[in-house]
Amino acid sequence: MLKVAAYCYEYSLFLAAGAMVAWTMLVARKHLVTRYRWFRLAPLALAGLTFGKVLFHPIVIVSPVSGTVFHPGEKVPVSVAIHPSFLTALFPAVNVDLPKCWTCKSSPAGIAVSGVLSGALDHFTIALPKDLAPGVLVTSAVAGMNGSMHPAMRSRYVELVVK
């Protein structure tokens, strides 16, 4: 049952799009159900679902805040929270992702991420190598059903300034 709920949450935008296509087809054919008020209000509910999914980020990097300065060779403590807490049961695989660096052309080499999943607040450590060039690293937190699948949720990006 949890797996079905997780898939519905993860793919809700696709489900909403499919429902809109079905709604459009019923309206075009002037089906009897189109006379009901709940049916005429369905696009508003589906639009609300779509905007809510895009604007609400249930996974958040609590610390450090964007713009925090670190130095090469330091270990950066990262805390990640998921709200509401029932999503931790749906998406137990939480990780910190370093997709790229704003000021360089490729992903920085030598950066290691390790973490402890505790349920309410997950703690990770990003080890910066001593020979890391100054710049801005971009990190985000991701969560999914397991570590090998693409993430179902991604937090807003946090910029780590390396000087």
- Each residue's pLDDT, cut to its tens digit, for the chain (163 residues) gives 566 666 666 677 677 778 778 888 888 788 888 778 777 777 877 777 777 766 777 888 888 998 999 998 888 888 888 877 777 777 777 878 776 655 555 556 666 666 656 556 788 888 888 888 888 888 888 887 776 667 778 888 888 888 8
Question: Do 82 and 88 contact (CB within 8 A), yes or no?
Answer: yes
Query: Which CATH number is 59-162's, of 2.60.40.10, 3.90.245.10, 1.20.1260.10, 1.10.630.10?
Result: 2.60.40.10
Q: Which residues contact 38 (CB under 8 A, 6 or more apart)?
A: none
Query: In the chain, which segments carry CATH 2.60.40.10?
Result: 59-162
